[in-house]
Amino acid sequence: MPKTIARMGKQKAGPEQIRAVIEKSLDDDKAEDIISYDLVGRTSLTDYIIIASGKSSRHVMAMAGHLREKLEEAGKHPHVEGMEQGNWVLLDAGDVIVHLFRPEVRSFYQLETIWSPDSMGHPA
């Protein structure tokens, strides 16, 4: 039986629900090294940033495609960049931003050093 994400009446899914949808989708797609940063009250850019890796460009692109579908089912229409190459795909759903990388690209850019609580002056 296909899984669907139900909207709550006419209410849009909130950031916490969107974050849960994303994390479940990444887990289902066997994403590696998933890190989720709660940035509520720390920046006006977004509430959550999620970073994950795929094993190959094809894996990254497949995860991004699934995420886009799940987010659209939840009432979000994310801005997506990087789908053509699959080295680094960004999905911006407003309250939640997702970065999907091939491992060597993730290692090169080291986004964790920018968004970790310690680097933002907020120890975990």
Question: What domains appear along the chain, each with residue ranges and CATH number?
Answer: 15-113 (3.30.460.10)
Q: How high is the pLDDT of residue 5? A: 41
16 neighbors 63 (Cβ within 8 angstroms): no
Q: How high is the pLDDT of residue 123? A: 53
Tell me the average confidence (pLDDT) per consecutive run of 10 residues in the chain, 124 residues long. Answer: 40 85 97 94 90 98 97 94 96 96 96 75 55
pTM for the model: 0.84
Q: How high is the pLDDT of residue 42? A: 84
Q: How high is the pLDDT of residue 118? A: 67
CA–CA distance, 113 with 79 (Å, rounded to integer): 24
CB atoms closer than 10 angstroms to residue 61:
19
Name every residue whose Cβ is closer than 8 Å to that of residue 108 and which is 6 or more positions away in sequence. Answer: none
Q: How high is the pLDDT of residue 2? A: 39
Helices (H) and strands (E) in the chain, counts: 4, 5
39 neighbors 45 (Cβ within 8 angstroms): yes
